[in-house]
Amino acid sequence: MLQVSQLAEEFDLKVQGGHGGLSKEITDYSLKRPSAELFGFLTYLTPKRIQVYGRTELGVIQQLDESVRRERLAQVMVAEVPCVIFTRGLPIPRECIELANERNIPLLTTGRSTTQLFYLLIRYLTNHLAPSTLVHGVLVDVYGVGVLITGESGIGKSETALELIKGGHLLVADDAVEVRRVDEESLRGIAPRRIRHLLEVRGLGILDVTMLFGAGAVRDEKDIHLIVHLEEWQEGKMYDRLGIDPPPTRQILGIAIPELTIPVRPGRNLASIIEVAVIQNRLRSYKSNPIKELGLD
């Protein structure tokens, strides 16, 4: 759930009217610039979207005759609108303030340009309003690839992540990963705020990665491209030894992500194995397979 008050606080938006609507929920991550609607074309009004008014929209309002200005604005600033934002610190028409107060539509202002605000808001809203789930695991950025490490508790996920961080790779989340479906093909992993940049290693406790390795050793979010599942080595179980076929996939929020199962036993350097797995996965995307090229398939 995302309320207008949270959005205002996050982006330092000034409240100029409609204070009674600050608890409204934002449910649509798209934005609306209602230029055509102000001319009376209401077919695509989409009242559940945040309305953004820049210089173009203000120019349209100022061109309207005073006898129809409030009527047109009343057709656009309906009660369902979560909030209205004026960019560039533009002056707000009196009619907008009146309607905002009457209909409890938060009226917000920012000094940012309309283009900059659109970029920031769409990214923010996409993250916060996308379908999400919580996955037990560790998310790291290895060579620019988002790798989700999963496995039973105590298998060595955090220890492997620590080795990867020491090798110059980046931590995104440890223990719990908020996974969000940001579009039809992408999953984005984010660390819950209370454990962001923290890594728990048995015997050492909870480590602050930014304090130990610097701010360049972490990142707040990363798209997930590969899952590496760690499991105890099972005698007699058949593990892939040739790598001819593409790996199986795991469905998360309806999106299939390649998943490699890596058996764990003493002496195996899991961090190095994951680094090579990332490189091998990239090679697959380039249609390169050394086994087939050697004629061993």
The mean pLDDT of 95-113, rounded to a whole number, is 97
Listing from the earlier edge strand, what are the strands of the sheet with 170-173? 170-173, 138-142, 145-151, 226-232, 255-264, 249-252
SS3 209: helix
Tokens representing 208 are 């602050």
In the DSSP assignment, the letter for residue 297 is -
Q: Which is the catalytic residue, given 33, 103, 128, 175?
A: 175
Q: Which is the catalytic residue, given 193, 194, 237, 241?
A: 241
157 is an active site residue: yes
How would residue 217 be classed by pLDDT, with cut points 50, 70 and 90?
Answer: very high
For residues 234 and 128, give the distance between their C-alpha atoms in angstroms, rounded to a whole number. 40
How would residue 237 be classed by pLDDT, with cut points 50, 70 and 90?
Answer: confident
175 is an active site residue: yes
Q: Is the pLDDT of residue 268 over 80?
A: yes
Measured in whole angstroms, the distance separating CA 279 from the mean position of its chain's CA atoms is 25
How would residue 126 be classed by pLDDT, with cut points 50, 70 and 90?
Answer: confident
**Does domain 132-293 fall into CATH 3.30.70.3040?**
no
Q: Is the pLDDT of residue 18 over 90?
A: yes
User: What is the percent of the chain with per-residue pLDDT over 90, rounded to a whole number?
Assistant: 76
Please report the pLDDT score of residue 247 as a whole number. Answer: 82
Q: Where are the domains of the chain?
A: 4-129, 132-293
Please report the pLDDT score of residue 296 as a whole number. Answer: 53
The mean pLDDT of 237-260, rounded to a whole number, is 82
Q: What are the E-state strand segments in 187-246?
A: 187-190, 198-201, 205-208, 221-223, 226-232
Q: Which is the catalytic residue, given 72, 157, 188, 229?
A: 157
In the DSSP assignment, the letter for residue 266 is T
Please report the pLDDT score of residue 98 as a whole number. Answer: 96
pLDDT digits (tens, 9 = 90+) for 161-206: 999 999 999 999 999 999 999 888 899 999 998 999 999 998 899 9
Mean pLDDT (the chain) is 91
Please report the pLDDT score of residue 241 as a whole number. Answer: 65
Q: Which is the catalytic residue, given 55, 136, 166, 292?
A: 136
166 is an active site residue: no
Please report the pLDDT score of residue 283 as a whole number. Answer: 82
Q: Is the pLDDT of residue 109 over 80?
A: yes
Please report the pLDDT score of residue 163 as a whole number. Answer: 96
For residues 84 and 81, give the distance between their C-alpha atoms in angstroms, rounded to a whole number. 8
Of 169, 168, 163, 170, which is closest to residue 269 (Cα–Cα)? Answer: 163
Q: Is the pLDDT of residue 287 over 90?
A: no
Please report the pLDDT score of residue 291 as a whole number. Answer: 54
In this structure, CATH architecture of domain 4-129 = 3-Layer(aba) Sandwich (3.40)
